[in-house]
Amino acid sequence: MMESRRNFMKGALGLAAASFLTRSGFSDEKKQKKSDLDGKWFDISLAQWSINKAFWSGEKDKMRFAEIANNEFGINAIEYVNQFYMKDYSAKMIDELARVSSGEGVDNVLIMCDREGRLGDPDDAKRTQAIENHLRWLEMAAALGCGAIRVNAASEGQFDVQLKLAADGLRRLSEIADTYGLNVIVENHGGLSSNGAWLAAVMRLVDHPRCGTLPDFGNFKINRETGEEYDRYLGTEQIMPFAKGVSAKTHAFNPEGFERDMDYLRLMDIVKRSGYRGYIGIEWEGKSLDEPTGILMTKKLLQKLGGRA
């Protein structure tokens, strides 16, 4: 199955090559000009989910995501969401995304992958199928010049059982991702994955340089039905040593422009002290403001705390 998919993608990889090289050159030149001397220590990216309502409704064109990020929000790095491209997945679609992002001078950072099965499924066949289901997103990420795909570590059973099952699926997928030169990064995204100690233990058990975490400031709810929640500050501290990405979730703001329900000064201090200097992605999920306003307010907050866009 993997061979047939690789053959299918040869066209997309070839068609995207020129635009990827152009984008890479732009990125290198841009980053050479950046310096920590002005107090800026990370780059801001935009998660596509921040505009999910507009994409689902058709108000905005998913194929123009890079153009929207650059022209409407002044952000030149983006994080795709696979759900918007499942139905129309093709080499032609991928090449068009590469063309648009290259034309805008926008860096493609990662693809967030959902609805592709549980990488820690107790059933061996289903776990293997989940790994297979992620291959097309590795291929798309490689064609776009991304650095990673973001996955989930969903499983079932007791704490230690889920630990071993999730580690098995992640290790196997990471070994495949390595052949593409890509990382597999896990978000705290409900269930035991929102338990910082558990997710850190998974990373240690996987023990693969291509496998890491994507700490999300707002995703520490373990059980939505009972309301069980893990301490977000402890959890962030526990999984930041493995971070290859960070998601700056926001829901609402106070009059001073800070996130109303999260201590962003504390969270960003944890991130900075960990030594992380990669992209931090805006992920607006609030209902109190429209999507563009929520995104711009999150951008302003991140810039205040050391972000470059």
Q: Tell me the average pLDDT across 151-178.
A: 98
Query: Comparing 18 with 229, which gets the higher pLDDT?
Result: 229
- Structural domain spans, the chain: 2-32+44-308
**Count of C-beta atoms within a 10 Å radius of residue 35:** 10
81-123 pLDDT, tens digit each: 999 999 999 999 999 999 999 999 999 999 999 999 999 999 9
The DSSP output letter for 181 is: T
Evaluate whether 278 touches 247 at the Cβ level (below 8 Å). Answer: no
Position 34 confidence tier, pLDDT thresholds 50, 70, 90:
very low
| Cβ atoms 45, 284 nearer than 8 A | no
The whole-angstrom separation of Cα 299 and Cα 283 is 10
302 touches 271 (CB < 8 A): no
- What is the C-alpha separation between 207 and 210, in angstroms, rounded? 9
Helix or strand run (H / E) with residue 185? strand 183-187
Q: Which of 271, 197, 216 is nearest to 240 (CA)?
A: 271
pLDDT for the residue numbered 105: 98
| CA angle (213 as vertex; 288, 2 as ends), nearest 5 | 110
pLDDT of residue 38: 64
Q: Residue 164 — pLDDT band, cuts 50, 70, 90?
A: very high
Q: Specify whether the CB–CB gap between 243 and 277 falls below 8 A.
A: no
Q: Is the pLDDT of residue 18 over 70?
A: no
pLDDT computed for residue 26 by the predictor: 37
**What gap in Å lies between CA 213 and CA 195, rounded to an integer?**
13
Q: Whole-angstrom distance between the N-terminal and C-terminal Cα of the chain?
A: 40
Percent of the chain clearing pLDDT 70 (strictly above): 88
Q: 5: pLDDT confidence band, cut at 50, 70 and 90?
A: low
Among candidate residues 66, 92, 207, the one with its CA nearest the CA of residue 146: 66
User: At the topology level of CATH, where does 2-32+44-308 sit?
Assistant: TIM Barrel (3.20.20)
Indicate the average pLDDT of the chain: 91
pLDDT-derived band at 126, boundaries 50, 70, 90: very high
Q: Which DSSP helix (H) or strand (E) runs through 65?
A: helix 65-73
**In sequence order, which residues have a C-beta less than 8 Å from that of residue 289 and are 6 or more positions away?**
252, 253, 297
The pairing of beta strand 148-151 with beta strand 183-187:
parallel
Cα 103 from Cα 98, distance rounded (Å):
8
Instruction: Kindly write down the DSSP assignment for every residue of 247-299, as one continuous string.
Output: EEEE--B-TTSSBSSS-HHHHHHHHHHTT--SEEEEEE--SSS-HHHHHHHHH
Residue 226, judged by CB atoms within 10 A of its CB (0-12, 13-18, 19+), counts as exposed
What does the alpha-carbon distance between residue 57 and residue 54 come to, in Å, rounded to a whole number?
5
